[in-house]
Structure 1
């Protein structure tokens, strides 16, 4: 169920492409709100807006704001006529029609249909880094840039967490900083520079249509978990790694690790990564861990080795030095924060993500 509220916009507190941050007066109190402008237009001070406050009311971690559902006092103008008939966020009240790379009206349709490598489903060994958490993205890119600063990198955002690309401040900043050559929203996710119907098509387009050297696959903000074996949104990383294997790419998994998470199931190697490696991965992938002898690295290596030993697929433990990665991470154009903890509090998740990126970039030579 949705908790609806009506409020008056008192201030526009921030803006970037695709999003406005607002201060909305609701029942006499200030409420932070986000308007995704591609869906609801651009509310102005004084407008009366309809809000969904459910996540804010439950104090969920992602966003910390209400979402603008509509602006009845000033309806957005109709968009210009344009091609595209693929509907995303399908059959929800805010479904959006987009032009997907694959569809008949797309300028890339013929390539997506007839290019021999796309038809064969062959990435020719393109490195693809797959991460569970959206917060890994800037760290992976920092690792890539530490040895291949000129590489063209695509970010493929899956639909297992947030659907709107515009929800991510960090992705928008990484695009603005030139750290990403292109972005592709796959499945029900929408709002990237390009749209794709599947992760498979997104990766093939990144390689053969958009000319990228590497890709990073991760869900958007809003990872969902339940402390159960199978009930968490990042389980889709196994599906993404399997897609890379089927398409003859070179999968590189970012293990989810933490040196400070108070939850035992996520301290050291997260049970999430252990489940993906041992039970959902059916193909091959490299799992990169620092070779240091300071905890939690020895423990993490042992836990990854145990998951690899019981795997149905063919994961490979790769241990590498993390020398220079702290400096590489310091160049990130966005703050490094994961599960509410900054890099200064716990560097381990960012070092592992950056090392995966560096390893993927090394495969280009």
Structure 2
């Protein structure tokens, strides 16, 4: 059940596109103004405190649920009738891209990079480069609100991402789509040359082979294959993770690959030794990945490029391979 608390906004720390970082009675909190309306210091609010109560890591902050001062009686989005988070207490209507047409019938060989972690997004986009039109599709498996991602904001500012699509149940993107298949078709219809799919920040995990959010990458790869795209799996590789299941090639990558139904290529840095079982790989020259990623948000489980270079090089390799496949 929900863990809710009434409080007052004691400080507004940062206002970003689609996200406000604030404090409620001194406790760290975030708000999504496109969902719950504007917020200001002194507002009386209700916040969801369960993540903090449980002591979660990357998601261990409160989330504003309702603004009692200025967030009541908010109107629905014009011409919207398809619900996000349907049949939950948080349901709200959003105009979906599919309602306006423009979906391609086939992907026509479109490179689709499929990531099991959000922290792979920045190095993947660096590998693709700023010369191509790139769309990002956020898929289920981590945070649902796309607006939580600081990486997406930075990549847009750097010209490495053109648009960010929320594939339901993900939400609050530049564009909303019912699912990953229609998101891919919409991107092609709009002239994007590469699509990168990834879960949002804070992956769901249970420590088991099939109980983790990274499997959404397999769903994206299968949709890409079925629609005539060219799916590439960004391998999760680590030399610094203390957990055995994530050392070398993570079991997340292996289990996602096992669920892929079509031909999927795993991009692999040519400078690293690959495990014998990883037969569906294509080696990529990743020299220069550090320079290409300079200034981008590079962090994975608290480790940066100096602590875990293989992680970022492997993600960069997927971007380079996607760039090379653009026809």
TM-score when scaled to structure 1? 0.86
Provide the residue aligned with 1:115 in structure 2.
Answer: none
Q: Is 1:318 aligned to 2:282, yes or no?
A: yes
Instruction: Give, in angstroms, the shift of residue 177 of structure 1.
Output: 3.1
Instruction: Give, in angstroms, the shift of residue 343 of structure 1.
Output: 2.1
Aligned length: 327
Task: Provide the alpha-carbon RMSD of the alignment.
Answer: 1.6
Q: Are the aligned partners of 1:127 and 1:360 in contact in 2 as well (CA < 8 Å)?
A: yes
Q: In the aligned structure 1, how far is the partner of 2:98 from the partner of 2:182?
A: 7
Provide the residue aligned with 2:312 in structure 1.
Answer: 350
Superposed CA offset, 1:200-227 (max 9, x none):
111011012x110000011111201111
Structural mapping, 1:150-169, within 5 Å:
150-169=131-150
* Structure 2 counterpart SS, 1:284: coil
Provide the residue aligned with 1:312 in structure 2.
Answer: none
Provide the residue aligned with 2:266 in structure 1.
Answer: 287
Q: In the aligned structure 2, how far is the partner of 1:96 from the partner of 1:222?
A: 23
Q: In the aligned structure 2, how far is the partner of 1:323 from the partner of 1:176?
A: 25
Q: In the aligned structure 2, how far is the partner of 1:178 from the partner of 1:261?
A: 31
Provide the residue aligned with 1:313 in structure 2.
Answer: none
Q: Are the aligned partners of 2:134 and 2:196 in contact in 1 as well (CA < 8 Å)?
A: yes
Provide the residue aligned with 1:42 in structure 2.
Answer: 38
Provide the residue aligned with 1:257 in structure 2.
Answer: 237
Structure 2: state its 5+ residue gaps. Answer: none
Q: Is 1:139 aligned to 2:123, yes or no?
A: yes
Provide the residue aligned with 2:215 in structure 1.
Answer: 235
Provide the residue aligned with 1:306 in structure 2.
Answer: 277
Provide the residue aligned with 1:221 in structure 2.
Answer: 201
Structure 1: state its 5+ residue gaps. Answer: 113-117, 309-315
Q: In the aligned structure 1, how far is the partner of 2:157 from the partner of 2:111?
A: 23
Q: Are the aligned partners of 1:90 and 1:188 in contact in 2 as well (CA < 8 Å)?
A: no
Q: Are the aligned partners of 2:265 and 2:282 in contact in 1 as well (CA < 8 Å)?
A: yes
Q: In the aligned structure 2, how far is the partner of 1:291 from the partner of 1:64?
A: 38
Q: In the aligned structure 1, how far is the partner of 2:47 from the partner of 2:166?
A: 25
Instruction: Give, in angstroms, the shift of residue 78 of structure 1.
Output: 2.8
Q: Is 1:14 aligned to 2:14, yes or no?
A: yes
Superposed CA offset, 1:215-263 (max 9, x none):
0011111201111111111111111111111111111110111110000
Structural mapping, 1:1-365, within 5 Å:
1-25=1-25, 30-76=26-72, 78-79=74-75, 82-103=78-99, 106=100, 109=101, 111-112=102-103, 118-119=104-105, 122-145=106-129, 149-208=130-189, 210-277=190-257, 279-292=258-271, 297-298=272-273, 301-302=274-275, 305-308=276-279, 316-332=280-296, 335-364=297-326
Q: Are the aligned partners of 2:76 and 2:93 in contact in 1 as well (CA < 8 Å)?
A: no
Superposed CA offset, 1:263-307 (max 9, x none):
000011001111122x20111111111122xxxx32xx11xx414
Q: Are the aligned partners of 1:39 and 1:94 in contact in 2 as well (CA < 8 Å)?
A: no
Q: In the aligned structure 2, how far is the partner of 1:82 from the partner of 1:74?
A: 20
Instruction: Give, in angstroms, the shift of residue 76 of structure 1.
Output: 4.8
